[in-house]
Amino acid sequence: MLDPMKSLEKAATDRGIRVDWLLGDMCGTPMQHSVKNLGHLDGVFHDREAWQSMDPQTIVYSVQWQEPVLPNTEGGLFWGSTTIEAGRVGDEYFMTRGHFHAKRDRGEYYCTVQGKGMLVLMGEDRLSRLEIMSPGSLHYIPGHTAHRAVNTGDAPLVFWACWPSDAGHDYDTIAKEHFSVRVLERGGIPEFVPEEPQPILK
C-alpha cells in the first residue's frame, strides 16, 4: 500500500524547486538569467561623461526567474529575483532600467530580502512616488505604473518579484521619456531629484 504521506513528500521533492531567500537564488527548475553591465545601460544614467569613464563590463544588476508557462500566457505567473550591486555612476546610484508592463494593467509584487534601496513608481500621468526598500519590505506595484529599483546602500540590494506571465515589458517608453525623478547622492545621502526637462527631439 502506498503511504499517502510518502507520496506527498515525493511529489514535493520531484517538483524540486528550491529558493535561497536571502541570496535570491533558485535551483531545480529551468531558469532564465540576465545580467546587465554598464555597457548595456547606455542612456540610463544622467551623467553620460561619468558613465563613459567607467568599465563597461562592470555588472550593475542580474535577474534570475522561472517561466512555468510560456510568456504571454494569460493567467500564469512568473517568479524571480533581482540583485543590484552597490555603486554609482557619478552621483546616481546603480539601478534597474525600469519599465511599464506592456499590458499596462498588469501589477506585480516586489519583496526585499537584503540591502537598502528605493523603489521609484511612476504613473502614466508622470507623477512619481518612492517606497523605501529594506529587508522584509513588501511592495505592491499596481498596473499602469512604471517601476525601477535603486540601490542606495553599500551592499547588494536583493528582492524577489512575482508578475503575470502576460505582463510583458515596455522599456522603450522609459528610454525615451525617462522617469520624472532620479535618486541621486547628495552630501552622502539619497535625494529624490526631478528629472531635467528632456530636449524636444525634432
Point out which residues bind Zn ion (CB under 5 A). Answer: 108
Report in angstroms how near the CB of residue 44 gets to ligand F6R at its nearest.
Answer: 9
Can you spell out the DSSP letters for 85-108? PS-EETTEE-B---BB-SSTT--E
Q: Using CB atoms within 10 Å of the CB of residue 136, give its burial: 0 to 12 exposed, 13 to 18 middle, 19+ buried.
A: exposed
Determine contact, residues 52/24, Cβ cutoff 8 Å. Answer: no
One residue of 64, 79, 92, 108 binding ligand F6R per CB under 6 A: 108
Q: Tell me if 82 contacts ligand F6R by CB under 6 A.
A: yes
Report in angstroms how near the CB of residue 163 gets to Zn ion at its nearest.
Answer: 5
Count other C-beta atoms under 10 Å from residue 9's C-beta: 11
One residue of 161, 181, 183, 184 binding ligand F6R per CB under 6 A: 161
Nearer to Zn ion, 146 or 184 (CB): 146
63 binds, among Zn ion, ligand F6R, none (CB under 5 to 8 A by kind): ligand F6R
Sign of the dihedral defined by the CA atoms of residues 106, 109, 115, 117, in that order: positive
Determine contact, residues 188/182, Cβ cutoff 8 Å. Answer: no
145 binds, among Zn ion, ligand F6R, none (CB under 5 to 8 A by kind): none
Report in angstroms how near the CB of residue 123 gets to Zn ion at its nearest.
Answer: 15
Q: DSSP class of residue 40?
A: G
Q: Taking CB under 6 A as the criterion, which residues in 38-67 touch ligand F6R?
A: 63
Determine contact, residues 162/139, Cβ cutoff 8 Å. Answer: no
Give the span between the Cα atoms of 166 and 130, in whole angstroms. Answer: 26
The pairing of beta strand 88-89 with beta strand 32-37: unpaired
Stretch that binds ligand F6R, among 37-45, 67-75, 93-101, 184-192 (CB under 6 A): 93-101
96 binds, among ligand F6R, Zn ion, none (CB under 5 to 8 A by kind): ligand F6R
Q: Tell me if 151 contacts ligand F6R by CB under 6 A.
A: no
Nearer to Zn ion, 108 or 131 (CB): 108
Which residue in 161, 156, 58 sits closest to 116, CA to CA?
Answer: 156
One residue of 139, 163, 178, 182 binding ligand F6R per CB under 6 A: 163
In the complex, the residues that contact ligand F6R under the rule CB under 6 A are 63, 80, 82, 96-99, 108, 147, 149, 161, 163, 167, 169
